[in-house]
Amino acid sequence: MKYSIPRGTFDILPNTSYKWTYLMDSFRSFASSFGYREISTPIFEVSGLFERSSGESSDVVQKEMYRFTDRKNREFALRPEGTAPVVRSYVENHLDVLASRTKLFYLGPMFRYDRPQAGRYRQFYQYGIEFIGSDNPYYDAEVIAVLMLWLGSLGLKNLRLELNSVGCPNCSAEYDKALQDYFKPLLPQLCPDCNKRFSLKPRRLLDCKVPSCKALRGGAPLQKDYLDQPCKEHFDQVCGQLTAMQIPFTLNPSIVRGLDYYTNTAFEVIYDGLGAQNSLAGGGRYNGLIEQIGGKSMPAIGFAGGFERLLLALEAEGIELTAEPKPLMYLICLGEQARTGVANYLNALRSKGIYVDYDPDKNSLKAQFKAADASGASYAIIVGESEIAAGTLNLKNLASGEQISLPLDDGTALLGLLGID
């Protein structure tokens, strides 16, 4: 029987895996330079964690989570996002005891039962950071700076940072009431999901993707007009910090984010070259989440982005981050005695991190040189029975044709000639 990959997933094949490795290593290095340390959590958690954090009325919980029950009838879910598992780990492992400020980053696959399309998959790979321990507006700006500066370091130009404040629980009640007053006469024209959201979480009406619903929210009240004084001051200071960091931004009062835990600062990074799926990354504050899932009251902020859309944006701008790995050398052996005699030498080079290609199934000199050229190797190591007897090898520069003889030692002479430690 022939099997096919599940819909909404994809294989990362060898001809592209090096790009993923490059991006992940680059993010690790960049986040580390800001003092963030890597954390890894399981790909599945108790489903109640996401119901509590994301909100039971959210699309993530209602429509998109992959749930399963184990043999003891316990309900779990594949993680649909990264923040809740990181916060769960922070609380469970008492990371607040180790430091008053905790800086974490993560990489890994997430899962949502979504409609597959370009840049949107059912298994997708995220990068993200979480800062826990202070509501100082500087940290809002720092988190945003990590994201914007890293994306810029990759060469992306057509980026737009959009910023908003979604307020706090103190000022949200009045805003929710204003939204209900606005949308109540429009309920017959709204989709069934929006009719449910109307009572449970009115601001979710602003995040509906149904075109007819989007058309009706043009005159809806804006959160910025309902912020209390502390929230206004916090947002003004965030904007001031970003200006001081010379990070341009656009105010977008329609940003609400799709998860219940967001408070105050909310932001998205838009890349217009991707059509409808143009959000590269997003995040915001979640000052109440840690207490909500059993920890101490602790302010926090973070972001997450997807590698799939990032790769599409890089491709759209024609940015080649790194070349596909090619061997530095190709080993050519003439005769069985040469193959046996050079085996330990080959292992010695590879053990030093040198990429040496070799195919013992090719016997003729012509076939082996053809394979060496096709591999993209810079040099050919040529060993025959006479070289084995003399304890030597021939190193040929495949571009210039220059060839020299070297001792068949532990690789020291060859690497020294090429200036490799």
The CATH number, out of the four listed (3.40.50.300, 3.30.930.10, 3.40.50.2300, 2.30.30.40), of the domain defined by the range 14-168+228-316: 3.30.930.10
Nearest Cα neighbor of 85 from 34, 41, 146 is 41
Instruction: Report angle CA 182, 188, 193 to the nearest 5 degrees.
Output: 85
pLDDT of residue 177: 86
Query: Average pLDDT for residues 178-204, to the nearest whole number?
Result: 84
Q: How distant is the alpha carbon of residue 28 from its chain centre?
A: 10
* CATH code for the structural domain at 329-417: 3.40.50.800
Q: Where are the domains of the chain?
A: 14-168+228-316, 329-417
CB half-sphere exposure, 169, CA atoms < 13 A:
6
Mean pLDDT value across residues 98-117: 91
Query: To which H or E segment does residue 279 belong?
Result: strand 279-285
**Residue 374: what are its φ and ψ, rounded to 5°?**
-65, -30
Sorting pLDDT into bands at 50, 70 and 90, what band is 64? Answer: confident
3-state helix, strand, coil in the chain (%, to 5): 45, 20, 35
Average pLDDT score over residue span 326-345: 93
pLDDT for residue 258 is more than 70: no
Domains 14-168+228-316 and 329-417 share a fold: no
φ and ψ at 368, to 5 degrees?
A: -70, -40
What tokens appear for 135 in the block? 């509501």
- pLDDT, position 37: 97
Model pTM score: 0.88
Q: Using one digit for the tens of pLDDT, what is the confidence trace for 390-421? A: 999 999 999 999 999 999 988 888 888 888 87
Assigned token pair, 232: 């206004």
Interval 292-299 mean pLDDT:
90
**Mean predicted lDDT score pLDDT of the chain:** 90
Residue 373 φ then ψ, to 5°: -65, -40
Contact partners, residue 306, CB within 8 Å, separation at least 6? 119, 124, 125, 126, 280, 281
Q: pLDDT per residue over 370-390, tens digit each?
A: 999 999 999 999 999 999 999
Report how far apart the first and last C-alpha atoms of the chain are (Å, whole number).
50
